[in-house]
Structure 1
């Protein structure tokens, strides 16, 4: 079942797909052209390939700045969601069709923002993972399954620029031009391996995806914050992070372009033991010095606010732990649970290798840890499956993993309580 077909030719020997078959279409940028696009895709046939281009690293948030669609019989359409912010007419035109996306979780939220909501979905990246492909980026998947190369030099450009240059539009059109053929090839591979039903469960689950879980105190993920070792220093990080976010949102630029994380961490580490706010701020690193100088007034005010906080309002060094403890502490706190976790990982890892499906796709590590820490002392396979499905696991996942987890629990029984 783990066979994924013959090896592909070396990438540098493959043909470069340099231009869309029908040329680069004009960008849809008004309601009349949008209605024409909707009529065209409605009259086409088969699944619809979709993609969205964002301006990550340039703009605030993850909004779509170009939406691409392609359908047999309708051709390729490039839509400007800035000029046409409501694409509901397109959504209605393709509501009953299967949508093809690559790495759907990257695009579903920004597509929903402009009114596009799939009802049936095929994710070629996730399909590639289940099929055992070691590299699942669009370029690597196209090379393996279709035997051509995609140019990817425009993947990280500022898609909020207007007008969009023709080479960028060519790149965007090619990204959806390959999706139909790629979808068919991945589906055939999954069918041959007996995994297509698993994939369809995963795709259906994706339809309810609404974005990553919101984090408590997101400022704690500031790069370099580990260098800050006091609650006062963390208060400075928090103040500067929040001030930066306000400025970034107001200017509609990526926060890192206002003030890099490295600057926030450096400033917090430098001033965490101060008793008075600094009169000036700076850095010995030229790149950081420029951004600090541009925002010096706000930075000084933020540091002053953090230094003025009473001790009982300072953030804790660490947040209270929610959920199971880190696995490294299980052996001391509950040796049986630790043994069950180790054996479950061993059994699931063996199945992962046999099926050529990544362990995290068989069952997320968080679900496994939570069940083994919180679950009943002597669970049956059915009890394991029901608990995992209640926590979000799909049926195919529990069919494969629940017997293994129940076996691990039986091999390492809990001692009698009392």
Structure 2
């Protein structure tokens, strides 16, 4: 039994607490009321000064307009810190928040699902050096559900309204109920952080969490996705290379138009329409207009733009047509292992079973104990020497954190030794 298992069994587990008992208390308004939106440099300067003078961690959240606008820009940033209260900042009016980011850089930032908000915060000059992710903390602590509302209710006994999470945050002016919702998202975030820190300490997992948080804060921005058009929904229905070229040309034309109009690409042309056009390969605008997604509401000029993209795909030489499958990076799909390398398939089966069993014993998700891609790569190309030292080195090279290596190395040595 590991130290974490012994510690976790020593006292009652907060993560298993049922929401039965007293009903959660509805949290209807922030303690100091809904603050006005900061939308000019003078007000921003006062916010910066107030948060610089505040105490302790700072709760941070961001609202985007996913499904409405192009990209993942922040349209509202919420912050709360002891001694400073809550601030709501409009990045559309104040696009450079580096002054705020600079004064808060030495402070621990508390976010929920940090990886979702960090890219848009980075774009406006806000980059933490230390953070605490309450969603990830909940996963490591063994909570079955880790949404912010559920966590606040389970851990702190309050219920949050979540009715405005998918609204168009690029709208101006922002309605008061939306602003109240946004302010409440950071109202108890530091309280939740403190409770989760104590729970992780009780379970012997706090060091694991701190290592994970440090890795998130230090991670560089992800590189641009290769061939993003291949993520078109329904692409599996398109079999021929020339049809794939139609998908690629339509996706590219749609992306340019969406960026120019600052609209979500799905509002310009649906993925289903792109796939339908690729399957039908229409020869003219009239035929195109009869396809799903190219209905009577679309003007002739716009239809002609889509037809031009289709015609471009039709005219490409064979050597410029995309291949049916995206070039594989790393191991092949696991379903192909049994035929290509039965020994590797046996290693993967044993490794998955061992890691899953250990994750269950530790009461945390298997993917948080060790990323499935790391397990696959290790099993496909294992070290020549099946020792703990060699496996530790391989895991480190694959990006596993030290706590993950400590918890899984022996399990993987045993799994890799199955065919040695």
TM-score range, shorter chain: over 0.9
Structure 1 CA distance for aligned equivalents of residues 400 and 297 of structure 2: 45
Determine if contact 1:70/1:77 at 8 Å carries over to the other structure. yes
- 1:82 paired with 2:75, answer no
What residue is the counterpart of 2:349 in the other structure?
Answer: 342
SS class of match (2:316): coil
Determine if contact 2:276/2:291 at 8 Å carries over to the other structure. no
Q: Cα 1:331–1:63, aligned 2, differ >3 Å: closer, same or farther?
A: same
What residue is the counterpart of 1:416 in the other structure?
Answer: none
Structure 1 CA distance for aligned equivalents of residues 199 and 361 of structure 2: 16
Is the deviation greater in 389-398 or in 213-222? 213-222
Q: How many residues are treated as equivalent by the alignment?
A: 409
SS class of match (1:289): coil
For 1:34-73, list aligned pairs within 5 A: 34-73=44-83
Give per-residue Cα distances to partners, 1:63-98, cap 9 Å, x unaligned: 111111100111000111111111121112212111
Q: Cα 1:290–1:4, aligned 2, differ >3 Å: closer, same or farther?
A: farther
- 1:111 paired with 2:121, answer yes
- 1:187 paired with 2:194, answer no
What residue is the counterpart of 2:385 in the other structure?
Answer: 378
Q: Which TM-score applies when normalising by structure 1?
A: 0.94
Determine if contact 1:4/1:132 at 8 Å carries over to the other structure. no
Is the deviation greater in 97-106 or in 216-225? 216-225
For 1:20-169, list aligned pairs within 5 A: 20-169=30-179
Structure 1 CA distance for aligned equivalents of residues 182 and 137 of structure 2: 22
Give per-residue Cα distances to partners, 1:20-44, cap 9 Å, x unaligned: 1110000111111111001111111
- The alpha-carbon deviation at position 208 of structure 1 amounts to 2.5
For 1:204-219, list aligned pairs within 5 A: 204-219=214-229
Counterpart of 1:171 (choices 181, 188, 192) is: 181
- 1:318 paired with 2:325, answer yes
Determine if contact 1:281/1:292 at 8 Å carries over to the other structure. no
- The alpha-carbon deviation at position 209 of structure 1 amounts to 3.1
Structure 2 CA distance for aligned equivalents of residues 291 and 61 of structure 1: 25
Unpaired stretches in structure 1, ≥5 consecutive residues = 414-418
What residue is the counterpart of 2:295 in the other structure?
Answer: 289
Q: Which TM-score applies when normalising by structure 2?
A: 0.93
Structure 2 CA distance for aligned equivalents of residues 254 and 380 of structure 1: 51
Structure 1 CA distance for aligned equivalents of residues 225 and 109 of structure 2: 30
Q: Cα 1:180–1:38, aligned 2, differ >3 Å: closer, same or farther?
A: same
- The alpha-carbon deviation at position 212 of structure 1 amounts to 4.6
Structure 2 CA distance for aligned equivalents of residues 352 and 290 of structure 1: 54
Give per-residue Cα distances to partners, 1:321-342, cap 9 Å, x unaligned: 2211111122222222111111
Determine if contact 1:81/1:87 at 8 Å carries over to the other structure. yes
What residue is the counterpart of 1:233 in the other structure?
Answer: 243
SS class of match (2:230): helix
Is the deviation greater in 329-338 or in 228-237? 329-338
- The alpha-carbon deviation at position 282 of structure 1 amounts to 2.3
Structure 1 CA distance for aligned equivalents of residues 181 and 67 of structure 2: 19
- The alpha-carbon deviation at position 9 of structure 1 amounts to 2.4
- 1:309 paired with 2:309, answer no
SS class of match (2:289): coil
Give per-residue Cα distances to partners, 1:83-123, cap 9 Å, x unaligned: 11111211122121110000000011111111111111000
- 1:388 paired with 2:398, answer no
